[in-house]
Amino acid sequence: GWVQEVRALPLAQVLHGLGAGRDRAGDPVNPRVGAELLVGAGQHLRAGEPWLRVHHEGTLGAGGRRALQDALCLGPEPPRDPPPLVAETILPEGLLPGPLGAAP
């Protein structure tokens, strides 16, 4: 099918459970946990083709695998309007858009 979108929240929740996030300030973060997204909206995938690489230690249980698969939204046709790569740029107050973001 065609990648319509990849939902970020389920990915973040699974990675957090594997040690990539904190519940409280000061909690340790495992720097060996992460993910590589191998696809983007509008890309065609065939059955068995990888779309995500997860780095972790230990075991990713069936629930985590299911959550990751549910994050991938496929459709029978390419999306009509793929989302923009950059939705919005937010600058600190007083900075102007430009190559150096110089203040006036």
Name 83's Cβ contacts closer than 8 Å, sequence gap at least 6.
5, 41
d(C-alpha 11, C-alpha 17), whole Å? 10
Determine whether domain 2-75 maps to CATH 3.90.1170.30.
yes
pLDDT the model gives residue 58: 83
Show me where the domains of the chain are located: 2-75
The reply to whether the predicted model has a pTM over 0.75 is no
Give the pLDDT confidence of 71-99 residue by residue, as tens digits.
999 999 998 876 677 778 888 887 666 65
pLDDT at 40 over 60: yes
**Amino acid present at 15:** L
Give the pLDDT confidence of 7-21 residue by residue, as tens digits.
999 999 999 999 999
